């Protein structure tokens, strides 16, 4: 089995707001939102947005007054979610915008930057955290060229 990143823990100013945003943005993937069943190392229960058997975002309370810094040591620059087709990229992009996020670029093909018919969108959640949704429209080339 190929390695897959299954979950990502993010520190956010308002975990409930972030959970509502990501659950709405990822509706096309069958996302759900619920409080975690575990307690974090600080004693809190983060919010979880998940897509069954494939992805979980654990949304922890950030320290008061802090802001996301993608270039700080250990900071998150962005994360990407791979989906099966361009239609899903379009649906997630529209839902993310409707849920209060913004679209930095796309959805579109990026032929000069990526291979295999990369089609995607670069997004920002309400806290400015960058993420992307993408697919490969020419995966048969990937199987041949690796």
pLDDT at 144 over 80: no
Give 7-58 pLDDT, tens digit per residue: 999 999 999 999 999 999 999 999 999 999 999 898 999 999 999 888 999 9
Written as one string, the DSSP assignment of the chain is ------EEEEEES-HHHHHHHHHHHTGGGT-EEEE-SS--TTS---EEEEETTTEEEEEEEPPTT----TTSTT----EEEE-S-HHHHHHHHHHHHHTT-EEEEEEEE-TTT-STTEEEEEEE-TT--EEEEEEES-HHHHHHH-
**pLDDT in the model for residue 66:** 83
Q: Rounded to two decimals, what is the model's pTM?
A: 0.90
Give 79-109 pLDDT, tens digit per residue: 999 999 999 999 999 999 999 999 999 999 9
Predicted confidence band at 59 (pLDDT cuts at 50, 70, 90)? very high
Predicted confidence band at 116 (pLDDT cuts at 50, 70, 90)? confident
What's the mean pLDDT in 55-66?
91
**pLDDT in the model for residue 96:** 98
């Amino acid at each position: 089995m190929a390695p897959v990143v299954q979950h990502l823990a993010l520190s956010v100013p308002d975990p409930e707001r972030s959970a509502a945003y990501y659950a709405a943005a990822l509706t096309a993937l069958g996302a759900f939102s619920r409080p975690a069943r575990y307690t974090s190392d600080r004693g809190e229960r983060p919010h979880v947005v998940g897509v069954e058997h494939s992805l979980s975002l654990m949304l922890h309370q950030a320290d008061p007054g802090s802001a996301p810094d993608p270039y700080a040591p250990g900071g998150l620059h962005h994360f990407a979610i791979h989906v099966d087709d361009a239609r899903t990229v379009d649906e997630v992009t529209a839902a993310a915008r409707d849920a209060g996020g913004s679209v930095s670029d796309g959805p579109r093909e990026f032929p000069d930057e990526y291979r295999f018919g990369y089609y995607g969108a670069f997004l920002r959640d309400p806290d400015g955290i960058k993420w992307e949704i993408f697919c490969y429209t020419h995966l048969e080339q990937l199987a041949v060229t690796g």
